[in-house]
Amino acid sequence: MRNVQKKAPTLLLIIVLVGFPQISESIFTPVLPALSRAMAVSANQIQWTMSSYFVAFAVGVLWWGQLADRIGRRPAMLGGVGLYLLGNLGLLLSPNFGWLLGFRLLQAFGASAGSVVTQTIMRESFTGIVGARIFAQTSAAMALSPALGPLIGGLMQTLGGYPAVFGTLVVMASAVFSYSALRLPETRPRQGTPATRQWPIVKRLVSDPVVWGYGILIGGINGILFSYYAEAPFIFETHFNFSALAYGALGLSLAAASLGGALLVSRLLNRWTPEQIIVGGLLLSCGAALLLWLAAALNLAWGMVGGFFLVFLGLNIALPNALNRALIGYEAVMGSASGWFSLGYYLLVSALTYGMSLLHSPSIQRLPLYCLVLCLGMVTAYGGLVRRTQARRLLAAASD
């Protein structure tokens, strides 16, 4: 439903609100080895701060999305950012690992408002050509924000250790809250958003093989990304002796892979169907993961950097088309369907990131093999659940 109050946030505010959750996800990664030593816990345990983030984030996406429909976009956003600020303060003051993990969950729950509520505000505030441009500009900024997290985290770790990273998060949260309080308008239609029965939507989603296939794809791609964030600092900082800052700078290669994937997709769509592009991207990632494993076996640090770039290039070719096509046919209930779908794939991201923490060892070959297995699994799931179901539906439609 369109925003009938004729108020719209600025592009800068939208980018800030969409970007801060992504920075919060990845700013932890350069400090994981130091945090493990300071909290006197194992590397496996400290990686829980990455996997648990997505459990709270998944629940938060559902909570804030529905709350924004009831009380309005602005109060829901301010409530989420306020909890995010409290979570960051708690991280800074945590006396032990248990408290740290608890406040990490609070941080993620609050940050999820920046994802789901901002997307709702964008859909209500911008339509047509203007809307397409806003979404394109926001997507470009989102491609860079995950790279900023490791870079900022590495710099702060170098300057002041992990407390400097948490202090930076407090400052960032305070700035986001203040900016939102001053500039964020209310965009919910005056007559409110009509209530939607949730159970029929959930039942339909759960029984749809295409939704399962795309959910596995999107969750798997993000699961590989955050398994990298959880494990890579122990590969590059601990094994290859990169500084925290040098490791953080590697995030720029991920940003390049994201931007490169987006540019390639726009060109490939002139010749190939979205489904063909998805398969091509996944196959590229499978081949790159095999090369990545070989680089790890040969103990080649920069070979692994190049391998990770190619893996994520392939995944970023597949991801935009998967996101675009996942909920085709659910347009009438898109808000609720998006919330439940996001809950499912964020839980998968959490499970896959936790799986990497269980597999952690001094061997640098574990993560490349994990990437290879997940890429092969996504190819299998996409072929078996999505392509086969689509073929059956086309055949059924032709026979009617």
Of 119-128, 305-314, 355-364, which one has max mean pLDDT?
Answer: 305-314
Place of tokens 């700013």: 27
Confidence category of residue 191, pLDDT binned at 50, 70, 90: low
Over residues 180-204, mean pLDDT: 80
**Rounded mean pLDDT of the chain?**
87
Distance between CA 154 and CA 157 in Å, rounded?
Answer: 5
- pLDDT-wise least confident of 96-110, 123-137, 181-195: 123-137
Q: Enter the CATH code of domain 196-400.
A: 1.20.1250.20
Contact 48, 101 (CB under 8 A): yes
Residues with Cβ within 8 Å of 251's Cβ and at least 6 positions away in sequence, in order, are 26, 146, 147, 148, 149, 150, 151
10-190 matches 196-400 in fold = yes
Return the pLDDT at 19: 86
CA 203 to chain CA mean position, Å: 25
Domain positions in the chain: 10-190, 196-400
Return the pLDDT at 190: 67
Over residues 96-117, mean pLDDT: 93
Contact 53, 21 (CB under 8 A): no
Confidence category of residue 232, pLDDT binned at 50, 70, 90: very high
Q: What angle do CA 132, 135, 139 make, to 5 degrees?
A: 140
Residue (of 89, 56, 62, 88) closest to 76 by Cα position = 62
So what's the architecture of 10-190 in CATH? Up-down Bundle (1.20)
Over residues 389-396, mean pLDDT: 72
Kindly report, residue by residue over 7-35, the tens digit of the pLDDT: 788 888 988 998 888 888 888 888 999 99
Over residues 106-119, mean pLDDT: 90
Better-scored residue on pLDDT, 333 or 246:
246
Over residues 355-362, mean pLDDT: 91
With a cut of 90, say whether residue 381 has pLDDT above it.
Answer: yes
Return the pLDDT at 4: 45
Kindly report, residue by residue over 21-78, the tens digit of the pLDDT: 888 888 888 899 999 999 999 988 998 988 888 889 989 988 988 888 888 889 999 9
Kindly report, residue by residue over 169-180, the tens digit of the pLDDT: 999 999 999 999
Return the pLDDT at 129: 60
In this structure, what are the phi and psi dihedrals at residue 68, rounded to the nearest 5 degrees? -65, -30
Kindly report, residue by residue over 284-342, the tens digit of the pLDDT: 999 999 999 999 999 999 999 999 999 999 998 998 888 778 888 887 776 677 778 88
Confidence category of residue 1, pLDDT binned at 50, 70, 90: very low
| Angstrom distances, CA of residue 55 to CA of 43, 45, 109, 225, 243 | 20, 16, 9, 16, 30
Better-scored residue on pLDDT, 397 or 318:
318
